[in-house]
C-alpha cells in the first residue's frame, strides 16, 4: 500500500479531488491504524469515504504468522465482496 501511494501520490494530486473511496483491509490485529493511515493520505487527494471499512483481522502477530500465507473465511470474503459490489453499484447509478 505504501509503495503504491509513494509512486502515485504526486502524479494524481490535483486530478482526482472529490472522488469516492472505500477500503477493505487485511490486518494482523485491529486494522484501525491502517485505516487511519489511508484516511490521512487520501485527505491530501481530497477523496471522500462513502462507506465504513471492512477490516479482516488475520491475527498475525509473530514473524512466522506474518510471513505465512493468509486465508480468510467465506464470511470475510462475502463482506469484502458486498462492499465492492455496493461501491460499484453506487458508482454505476451516480450516487457517488
pTM (2 d.p.):
0.84
CB count in 10 Å sphere of residue 72: 14
pLDDT of residue 2: 78
pLDDT of residue 86: 98
Q: What does the pLDDT look like over 17-74, one tens digit per residue? A: 999 999 999 998 889 999 999 999 899 999 999 999 999 999 898 999 889 999 999 9
pLDDT at 78 over 80: yes
User: Per residue in 40-50, is it b (16+ CB within 10 Å) or e — as a string?
Assistant: eebeebebeee
Phi, psi of 46 (to 5 degrees): 60, 40
pLDDT of residue 30: 86
Secondary structure letter of residue 39 according to DSSP: H
Q: How confident is the model at residue 91 (pLDDT cuts 50, 70, 90)?
A: very high
Burial class (CB in 10 A: 0-12, 13-18, 19+), 67: exposed
Amino acid at each position: 500500500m505504501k509503495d503504491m501511494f509513494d509512486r502515485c501520490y504526486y502524479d494524481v494530486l490535483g486530478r482526482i479531488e472529490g472522488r469516492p473511496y472505500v477500503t477493505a483491509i487485511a490486518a494482523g490485529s485491529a486494522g484501525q491504524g491502517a485505516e487511519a493511515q489511508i484516511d490521512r493520505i487520501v485527505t491530501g487527494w481530497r477523496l471522500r469515504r462513502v462507506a465504513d471499512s471492512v477490516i479482516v483481522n488475520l491475527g498475525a502477530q509473530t514473524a512466522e504468522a506474518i510471513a505465512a500465507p493468509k486465508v480468510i473465511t467465506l464470511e470475510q470474503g462475502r463482506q469484502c465482496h458486498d462492499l465492492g459490489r455496493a461501491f460499484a453499484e453506487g458508482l454505476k447509478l451516480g450516487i457517488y
